[in-house]
Amino acid sequence: MVQAIWNEEIIAESSDTVIVEGNHYFPASAVKPDFLQASEHHTHCPWKGDASYYHLRVKGKTNENAAWYYKDPFPKARHIEGRIAFWKGVTVREKPDSP
């Protein structure tokens, strides 16, 4: 079981993450939607496609563009479609009581 934690809150938790370039991509259904706020920020990856971002909003604090996803990834990255990854101070770790 892997968790994404920011500002002392569990943002996401899943035993079904996909690791790409060192980042855990969580199923969107494993991410708590109350913590996500749409962002206008976008970036482009030559092999994954165009990334869209979310701000994280937790306990009155905002971490801008701290989560990203590929709505329509290129063919080589189809395995991360419908998944969200984190950065910018978000801790991604094995759940402490996981075997």
Domain contains 47: yes
pLDDT digits (tens, 9 = 90+) for 38-60: 999 999 999 999 999 999 999 99
The long-range contacts involving 32-36, CB below 8 angstroms and separated by at least 24 positions, are: 35/9, 35/11, 36/67
How many domains, the chain?
1
Tell whether 69 is covered by a domain. Answer: yes
What pLDDT digit, counting tens, does each position of 5-22 carry? 999 999 999 999 999 999
DSSP H helices, 9-91, are none
Is residue 88 one of the residues assigned to a domain?
yes
Domain with residue 28: its CATH number is 2.170.150.40
Q: Could you give the residue ranges of the DSSP H alpha helices within 42-96?
A: none
**Is there a domain that residue 99 lies in?**
no
Q: Which domain holds residue 57?
A: 2-94
Q: Rounded to 5 degrees, what angle do the CA atoms 70, 76, 79 make?
A: 60
